[in-house]
């Protein structure tokens, strides 16, 4: 596990950016996060390291685009219940080894 400085930006209408110090394994990026309830947890971007490539001219910097499928529940228009759909969320990932 290596320590990294990271930046993760979610693409879309309301772009959210997370940055700070995290860790990478051979396949995953692990970052600290805080839930809407204010509780701390570890956010894991599974298998995202294979989508990142070296930044040209830099030895320890990597960046890439990561896509994640999330299941979202929507209320139906006629109010008869909820419908589940899968949506694709795009993240732009940058990290630099901090060791």
Give tens-digit pLDDT for 23-38.
999 999 999 988 889 9
Round to whole Å and give the CA distance between 77 and 51: 38
17 bridge partner residues: 9
Residue 70's nearest CA partner among 89, 97, 94, 95 is 89
Total count of domains within the chain = 1
Higher pLDDT, 13 or 71: 71
The pTM score is 0.79
Main-chain dihedrals φ then ψ at residue 92, nearest 5 degrees: -105, 120
Residues of the domain holding 87: 2-97
The closest alpha carbon to 91, from 54, 55, 52, belongs to: 52
Length of the chain: 99
pLDDT digits (tens, 9 = 90+) for 47-70: 988 999 999 998 899 999 999 998
């Amino acid at each position: 596990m290596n320590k990294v400085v990271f930046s993760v930006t979610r693409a879309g209408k309301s772009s959210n950016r997370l940055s700070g110090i995290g860790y990478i394994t051979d396949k995953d990026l692990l970052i600290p996060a805080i839930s809407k309830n204010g509780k701390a947890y570890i956010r894991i971007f599974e298998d995202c390291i294979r989508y990142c490539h070296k930044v040209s001219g830099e030895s320890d910097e990597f960046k890439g685009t990561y896509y994640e499928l999330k299941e979202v529940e929507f209320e139906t228009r006629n109010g008869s219940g909820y419908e589940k759909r899968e949506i694709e969320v795009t993240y732009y990932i940058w990290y630099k080894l901090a060791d």
